[in-house]
């Protein structure tokens, strides 16, 4: 086996995980900003946001496992899960650890979404943006391929697209306000009206005069 095999696996899986993370956010923004109409989409496309998030977690797991298996840097599990413990670029690795724990929180609460209040879930879900930022800083400072032109161009394009969609979501898509229509005041019942005088339907009264 090539002695650098696990090093290549860690690099490739890290890049794929980063791209999947950004694509997860982009697809979520396309759906929530109503740029794409969900009504005409098949069910698997509307669930693509969740699938991409799950794939991101899987590739991060491969990335971490490959770093432990690599015989060159010799990462321990503690160095991969506890910030500033690593002897290799501690600050850059700490960004990645922060992104990992943030993603675990977001994905974990998404699985338990039905058991949570929607407001609480949405608040935690907004951590996806700091997670993406931490992951970008980790890739720029600790990634071996950060100086690769293709990697840079792809990263700039994806981050730029994510930024534009986020601004559209903030500026143009606002929650609908409920219009409250005031109720008409109920009429106050007045006093009962007096009954109409009774009319006689018999012959006219006698006046004392006789008309032949």
pLDDT tops 80 at residue 44: no
User: What pLDDT does residue 165 have?
Assistant: 92
Is 148 a member of any domain?
Answer: yes
Residue 6 CA to residue 8 CA, distance in Å, equals 5
Is 203 a member of any domain?
Answer: no
User: What pLDDT does residue 111 have?
Assistant: 85
Long-range contacts, stretch 87-96, CB < 8 angstroms, 24+ apart:
88/142, 89/141, 89/142, 91/141, 92/137, 92/138, 92/141, 92/142, 93/138, 93/142, 95/134, 95/135, 95/137, 95/138, 95/141, 95/142, 96/134, 96/135, 96/138, 96/142
User: What pLDDT does residue 205 have?
Assistant: 56
Task: State the chain's mean pLDDT as an integer.
Answer: 84
Cα-trace Rg, the chain: 36
User: What pLDDT does residue 210 have?
Assistant: 47
Residue 178 CA to residue 181 CA, distance in Å, equals 9
Is 139 a member of any domain?
Answer: yes
Residue 86 CA to residue 80 CA, distance in Å, equals 7
User: What pLDDT does residue 47 have?
Assistant: 84
- Residue 149 pLDDT class (50, 70, 90 cuts): very high
Q: What is the dihedral of CA 76, 82, 88, 94, to 10 degrees?
A: 150
User: What pLDDT does residue 204 have?
Assistant: 56
Kind and range of the H or E element at 43?
helix 43-46
Is 85 a member of any domain?
Answer: yes
Percent of the chain's residues with pLDDT above 90: 52
Is 134 a member of any domain?
Answer: yes
Is 70 a member of any domain?
Answer: yes
Is 43 a member of any domain?
Answer: yes
Question: What tokens does 152 get?
Answer: 């840079």
Tens of pLDDT, residue by residue over 62-104, are 999 999 999 888 899 999 999 999 989 999 999 999 999 999 9
Is 131 a member of any domain?
Answer: yes
Residue 39 CA to residue 134 CA, distance in Å, equals 34
Q: Which residue has the higher pLDDT, 164 or 204?
A: 164
- Residues 6 or more apart whose CB falls under 8 angstroms from that of 165 comprise 26, 29, 30, 33, 35
Tens of pLDDT, residue by residue over 96-142, are 999 999 999 999 988 888 888 989 988 999 999 999 999 999 999 98
Number of structural domains the chain divides into: 1
Segments forming the whole domain that contains residue 62: 5-171
Q: H helices within 112-209, ranges in order? A: 118-125, 128-142, 149-171
User: What pLDDT does residue 185 have?
Assistant: 62
What is the pTM (predicted TM-score) of this model?
A: 0.76
């Amino acid at each position: 086996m090539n002695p650098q095999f696990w090093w290549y696996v860690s690099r490739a899986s890290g890049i794929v995980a980063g791209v999947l993370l950004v694509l997860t956010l982009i697809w979520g923004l396309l759906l929530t900003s109503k740029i794409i109409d969900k009504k005409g989409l098949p069910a698997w496309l509307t669930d693509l946001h969740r699938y991409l998030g799950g794939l991101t977690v899987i590739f991060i797991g491969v990335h971490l496992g490959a770093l432990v298996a690599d015989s060159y840097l010799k990462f321990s599990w503690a160095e991969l899960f506890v910030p500033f413990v690593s002897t290799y670029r501690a600050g850059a690795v700490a960004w990645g650890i922060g992104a990992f724990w943030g993603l675990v929180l977001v994905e974990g609460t998404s699985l338990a979404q039905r058991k949570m209040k929607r407001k609480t879930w949405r608040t935690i879900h907004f951590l996806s943006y700091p997670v993406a930022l931490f992951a970008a800083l980790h890739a720029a400072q600790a990634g071996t391929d950060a100086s690769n032109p293709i990697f840079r161009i792809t990263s700039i394009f994806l981050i730029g697209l994510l930024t534009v969609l986020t601004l559209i979501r903030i500026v143009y898509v606002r929650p609908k306000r409920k219009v409250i229509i005031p109720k008409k005041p109920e009429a106050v019942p007045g006093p009962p009206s007096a009954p109409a005088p009774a009319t006689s339907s018999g012959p006219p009264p006698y006046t004392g005069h006789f008309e032949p």
